[in-house]
Structure 1
Amino acid sequence: MFRSPLLILLPLALSLAACSSPETPQDAAPRPALVVQPQGADALMDIFPGEVRARYEPELAFRIGGKISRRLVTVGDRVEQGQPLAELNAEDVGLELDAARARLASARADHQLAASELDRYRPLLERGVVSRSQFDNVESRFQAAEAQLKQARAQMDVARNQAGYAVLEAPENGVIARRLAEAGQVVAAGQTVFVLAVDGDREVRIDLPEQDVDRFQVGDEVTVELWSRPGDTFPGHIRELAPAADPASRTFEARVAFDNDPVGAELGQSARVLVHGANGEDTLSLPLAAVTADDGQPYVWVVDPASRTLRKTPVKTGAYHAERIPVLDGLAADAWVVAAGTQVLREGQKVRPVDRQNRPVHLNGADGE
């Protein structure tokens, strides 16, 4: 049977189309790529959240043990020096005071009797009516009575002080920061009842993880920013660093003092401490998203300025920071690096560089578009 030439050529054209090579990445339209250049070591920064605290926070406790009968203040109350904060049940110390008064009265009476007896025996000794040994016994009883009177007076002073210790008073002007006991609770001598935030200097308390604490020392300069005043930063320094980790959180407490005049920070305000992590003047840094790894070897995608194609570039990195990572070797300071979507890129892929506002970036030495 006779076949049309069109039917013969159609399968041939289809087979030739199937054998043609697919479109290469270089032939595809350039995809946009967010690019950045490395920044200096000053861009490296760790951020630690903190809380505004008073520089001096004494723990207030009774000097004697007993049952708390009244609590006169609570957390947040402003107190003045000498103001009563809590009271113990004073029944026992009152009885001790009464007993001390009775002992003092008895010792005073014994002393008066011994003194009068000594006065009677002295002229008798001079006239030879009594012997010297008899007079020495009377004089010895007088000296013993005098010593007992001094002891009774000292015990009276102690009992009077103990009665005064039943009232816990504020040692300075300030604000009650914490309350650790309640009315009806039995406390021991020295057990903390309140924590007082003394008026005056303010500072920021932060917690440092144990893997980072070796980087810090007292006197290191930092920057403080209050959450209520974003963008308004204050210079500060590490004033105090705990020598041991907290047993619960396994972090090291640090206190950051403000270097300038009072900043108007209130107790309990949230703050954050920014610590510059420079590793040397020549150290570069990149955003965390710009660095990826293949079999444990970190690398970045560098854009060739002339061809606008990607080149996989191995780099040596340092310790990761909060938002950036230091690049110690393998990257030039003027290189353009892809900072997002690095996991879907390919070697030799052509891209269209843009910034974070999706605006075209003109690379140095690029041919332009």
Structure 2
Amino acid sequence: MINPRTVSASRSRLAFIGIVLTVLLGACSKPVPKAEDIRPVRVLKLAAGQVTAVAEFPGEVRPRIESRLGFRVGGKIVARKVDVGASVRRGQVLMQLDPQDLQLAQTQAQAALKAAESNQQLARAELLRYQELRDKNFVSQAVLDSKSTTYQAARASFEQAQAAFRNQSNQAGYASLVADADGVVTAIEAEVGQVVAAGNPVLRLAQLGEKEIVIGIPEDKVDALRRVTDVQVRVWAKPDEVFAGKIREVAPMADPATRTFTARISLAGPSADIKLGMTAYVSFAAASPHPMLKVPLTAVFQNKSESAVWVVENNAVKLVPVRLAGPAGNDVLIAAGLAPGQTVVTAGVNFLRAGQKVRILDEQSQAGSSAVAATSGKATEAAK
């Protein structure tokens, strides 16, 4: 008969021996070497070239002249003849005031003119009669001088009444607000029933003719853009059509809200299809004074508080801080930190670390492409 205690002890010894053998075998085996992490990247070989810097700003098509019209006399508006967006012709009636008081004043001035005319005629007849009596020596010269003075006063009163009547007639005519030029109504600032004072703007009229683009220029670009002569204008509705422009005016002070300087760009022979209020884009083009380096935007990333790129050397990458000179479309210009001939990583920059081995998928070279850079390397700065 087998003793249970003997069987249990045998099992325990066998389990202990198994554990010892496992530990010994594990200690004798070598660790599997970890495969080196090699990242595939795309790169670009740098070459300096001439760059046409282009600064582009959005703007709005506005008229060269936009007038805020108002009545030359005060009164109550009784009629409005046009709406916003209406095209009007020179001399067309836009609004009317209640003419009753002005007509009464005109009637009063007309009555005063008739009275002055009668007094003048009477004084003239008196003067002629006394001149005949003086010729016959029936009256003294003093009496004749008195009649002459009376006539001169009556004549002056008549001329005064004439002027007052003409003035009051003009005032009555001012009850109708008419367009002083062909144009388009851009705003209505008063409505029927409103009492307005003389000179208060009631309507805005944009004159047809020369149009211009109004843009806002950042304060650090004003002086540089003043000297640019190659100015081109495109409208959002017709992106393929380009118009030549010219800086006509730059505001002497910055806008208090946007802190930009308002600039007006005149158009040389604009198309009739360009409507007021359209969105436009103004581009200022100027060649860089010396060759510059540029890299794709995807190659630059922020390392703490500075911009940096990955440079490939001996199939490994190192972090190089750079100073940027400005955007260039989908590229960015490099002011300092890189040199021609260096190879820069353009894709996969966020997954790299210093010293990491990389595998180049393809390599784009800019060497000997200065002519291409001059045409396609345009630095576009979009001012929002």
Residue of 308, 312, 319 corresponding to 1:299? 308
The answer to whether 1:347 aligns with 2:354 is yes
* Structure with bigger gyration radius: 2
Residue of 199, 205, 212 corresponding to 1:190? 199
Comparing 99-108 and 192-201, the one that deviates more: 192-201
1:282 matched residue in structure 2: 291
- C-alpha separation in 2, matches of 1:131 and 1:259: 79
1:313 matched residue in structure 2: 320
- C-alpha separation in 1, matches of 2:285 and 2:347: 24
What's the offset of the Cα at 1:35?
A: 4.8
What's the offset of the Cα at 1:362?
A: 5.1
Residue by residue over 1:90-115, the C-alpha shift from the partner in whole angstroms, topping out at 9 and shown as x without a partner, is 12221221121111111111111110
Q: State how many pairs are aligned.
A: 352
The answer to whether 1:173 aligns with 2:182 is yes
The answer to whether 1:239 aligns with 2:248 is yes
2:64 matched residue in structure 1: 55
- C-alpha separation in 2, matches of 1:322 and 1:193: 46
Amino acid in structure 2 at the alignment position of 1:68: I
2:137 matched residue in structure 1: 128
What's the offset of the Cα at 1:43?
A: 5.3
In the TM superposition, 1:19-38 aligns within 5 A as: 27-33=36-42, 35=44
Residue by residue over 1:258-313, the C-alpha shift from the partner in whole angstroms, topping out at 9 and shown as x without a partner, is 23553631222222222346553324444555434546443322334xx4432322
Is the contact made by 1:53 and 1:267 (CA closer than 8 Å) also made in structure 2? yes
Is the contact made by 2:211 and 2:270 (CA closer than 8 Å) also made in structure 1? no
- C-alpha separation in 1, matches of 2:206 and 2:166: 32
The answer to whether 1:332 aligns with 2:347 is no
Is the contact made by 2:47 and 2:365 (CA closer than 8 Å) also made in structure 1? no
- C-alpha separation in 2, matches of 1:6 and 1:362: 59
2:363 matched residue in structure 1: 361
- C-alpha separation in 2, matches of 1:179 and 1:280: 50
Shift of the 363–242 alpha-carbon distance from structure 1 to 2, 3 Å rule, reads closer
- C-alpha separation in 2, matches of 1:172 and 1:352: 71
Comparing 104-113 and 94-103, the one that deviates more: 94-103
The structure where strand makes up a greater share of residues is 2
Is the contact made by 1:78 and 1:175 (CA closer than 8 Å) also made in structure 2? yes
Relative to the length of structure 1, the TM-score reads 0.82
1:11 matched residue in structure 2: 26
Amino acid in structure 2 at the alignment position of 1:317: L
Residue by residue over 1:11-61, the C-alpha shift from the partner in whole angstroms, topping out at 9 and shown as x without a partner, is 3157x53xx8765xxx31323346585785645433322122222222222
- C-alpha separation in 2, matches of 1:57 and 1:219: 27
- C-alpha separation in 2, matches of 1:43 and 1:96: 69
Shift of the 6–341 alpha-carbon distance from structure 1 to 2, 3 Å rule, reads same
The answer to whether 1:152 aligns with 2:161 is yes
- C-alpha separation in 2, matches of 1:336 and 1:263: 51
Is the contact made by 1:240 and 1:256 (CA closer than 8 Å) also made in structure 2? yes
- C-alpha separation in 2, matches of 1:336 and 1:70: 74
Shift of the 265–301 alpha-carbon distance from structure 1 to 2, 3 Å rule, reads same
Unaligned runs of 5+ in 1: 355-359
Is the contact made by 2:78 and 2:192 (CA closer than 8 Å) also made in structure 1? yes
- C-alpha separation in 2, matches of 1:115 and 1:64: 38
Residue of 44, 67, 84 corresponding to 2:93? 84
Q: For the aligned residues, what is the CA RMSD?
A: 3.2
- C-alpha separation in 2, matches of 1:364 and 1:41: 12
Is the contact made by 2:78 and 2:193 (CA closer than 8 Å) also made in structure 1? yes
Unaligned runs of 5+ in 2: 1-12, 368-384
Identity %: 37
Relative to the length of structure 2, the TM-score reads 0.79
Taking CA–CA contacts closer than 8 Å with sequence separation of 6 or more, which of the two structures ends up with the larger relative contact order? Answer: 2
Comparing 327-336 and 156-165, the one that deviates more: 327-336
What's the offset of the Cα at 1:122?
A: 0.4
Shift of the 263–133 alpha-carbon distance from structure 1 to 2, 3 Å rule, reads closer
1:252 matched residue in structure 2: 261
The answer to whether 1:45 aligns with 2:60 is no
Comparing 146-155 and 282-291, the one that deviates more: 282-291
Comparing 35-44 and 64-73, the one that deviates more: 35-44
The answer to whether 1:139 aligns with 2:154 is no
